[in-house]
Chain A
């Protein structure tokens, strides 16, 4: 599932446990910097074959999932 895979990628880069990452989780609470966001987006792009812009991914993991699903449609 899209959300499960995205959680794994975020956990991989942030060191956060996948159990603590929900659709409501805000990027700012993940303890990551602006370059880590790009690193995460690049891995998601490779995984799902979509293109993501760092400025257009909202504020939560749920926003990111929606953006990815939109790109896949």
Chain B
């Protein structure tokens, strides 16, 4: 059994942090951040929680889709910043929505939403679900060393969601997941307690995002190009035939370089990094929702989704919208 996206939604915190605000906190500037990353402002949670953002995005997606919480058979939330170890963010959303289906979280950093989509695809293939809610929700702000100007300027908070519904014809044409080692390129240690028996390691890092910028950039461009080329080949099209690309919003220059290498013009890439920064697993579903509500996606369009990041992981999918 196939599925299609019936509705999308997104939600971001109220507080907006601009590049000028950041330049009063660390040694940086609007010019540096804009040219290196492409971000102008990002939303940072103050009273919002990962679950509250996820639930709001979910409500909006449900509203668009016409599906009710009672109709949901499964909730999957991609996140690396759930408010609790337990209950999961998906579980908290289930409670907030008044749904009663199974709910669990998936962790694959910035690729998480696409890993979650692929997971949902498996449930549809088994014929055990009719409606699935897939969410990407993050409060990356709590993983940052706010004194590190190389990372604290890049990221933001938010959530995006999609309601999937079973259908006979296939809209999820092709997908790829990849996990690729490289914890020396991106690593985010967990906040953890310790037992009296734990022997500290000299390799232990503080619990903040660590990212080797140049290697990450190279990995990201390579992953985006490889997935899109490979998936296009699998469905018998040329990358230039893809109508629209909704990429993970990690850095505008990653997207620009991939556009050049793939021969897909920038106008066909959705870009909103200037407003939200890198929101990890929330990035793709927020972008998808905005593209959808802006009328950029037309029935029958080949829409490529692509993500890459911590893991190192990467993923892609091509949808027939």
On A, residues with C-beta under 8 Å from B are 33-35, 37-39, 41-42, 46, 54-55
B247-278 to A contact mask, C-beta < 8 Å, 1/0: 00001010001000100000000000000000
B217 and A38 contact, CB distance less than 8 A: yes
Across the two chains, which residue of chain B brings its CB closest to A46? B261
Asked if B218 CB lies within 8 Å of chain A CBs, one says yes
How would you classify the secondary structure of chain B's contact residues: helix, strand, loop or mixed? Answer: helix
In the complex, what's the smallest C-beta–C-beta distance from B10 to chain A, in angstroms? 28
Contact A33/B35 with A39-B253, A42-B257 known, Cβ cut-off 8 Å:
yes
Q: Are B36 and A42 in contact (CB under 8 A)?
A: no
Classify chain B: how many residues form its interface, as a range: 10 to 19
- Name B's A-contacting residues (CB within 8 A): 35-36, 213-215, 217-218, 221-222, 251, 253, 257, 261
Name the residue of chain A whose CB is nearest to the CB of B32: A33
The 4 closest A-B pairs by CB, nearest first: A54-B214, A38-B214, A38-B217, A38-B218
A38-B218, A42-B221 known; 13 new pairs, CB 8 Å cut-off, are: A33-B36, A34-B213, A35-B36, A35-B214, A35-B217, A35-B253, A39-B257, A41-B218, A42-B218, A42-B222, A54-B214, A54-B215, A55-B214
User: Nearest-CB distance from A62 to chain B (Å)?
Assistant: 21
**In the complex the two chains form, what is the Cα distance from A39 to B255 in whole Å?**
12
Bound-state Cα–Cα, A34 to B218, Å? 11
